Amino acid sequence: MKMFLSSSFADTVDLFSEFIDEDPNGKVVTFIPTASTPEVITHYVDSAKVAFKNLGITAEILDISIASPSEIEEKLSKNDYIYVSGGNTFFLLQELVKTGSDKLLIEQIKKGKLYIGESAGSIVMSPNIEYVAFMDDKTQAPNLTNFTGLNQIQQYLIPHFGNEYFNDATKKIIEYYNTKLDLLPITNDQALLINSDDIVVR
């Protein structure tokens, strides 16, 4: 299993380059912007596209909300990396489950394909996402009744720790869940790096 889970991909590109330990030039990433669909602020999607381009990585866009099952399966299985953007975690999980992409993603991760998460794309790997209701609007995912995440990490990531815009939300999550969950706050300059059994925050 190889995962790079960040709050902000554009702010951690140097970390990413070190982590992959290969020349990314010419690689292709399946770029999933779906979580940003219900959001008003989406500049981070463009920032990530630019970051990949600067690394020489081609981004092949896959919006799982509108793609056909065959397109989803093809793009997840054929490309070198998978990236899932920030946005609304509840909407993201709703769409992953609805399309069966959750199972396909886990399958690819288990095969060793590198998964890159940013904010919502990182949170969704936790055992359950209900804790981020202080940060994300649950009502954006009216059909989501089960908040079980993809459960590929044991921690409950809190992205944007120390970021002024998210201060209230991160504070509330920590106050409420501190004794209940294994919380892992990360700043916009940090990432959770997972390489098999080697798990570290940098």
Residues that are catalytic: 119, 160
Element (H, E) at 115: strand 114-118
- For residue 83, what are its two tokens? 């990236």
Q: How many CB atoms within 10 Å of residue 61? A: 13
Strand order from edge to edge, sheet including 28-32: 58-61, 28-32, 81-84, 114-118, 2-6, 191-195, 198-201
Listed in sequence order, the residues at least 6 apart from 104 whose beta carbon sits closer than 8 Å to its beta carbon are 72, 73, 76, 77
CA distance 142 to 9: 28
- For residue 114, what are its two tokens? 């590198």
The Cα diameter of the chain in Å comes to 45
Q: Is 58 helix (H, G, I), strand (E, B) or coil?
A: strand
List the beta bridge partners of residue 198. 195
Strand 114-118 and strand 58-61: pairing? unpaired
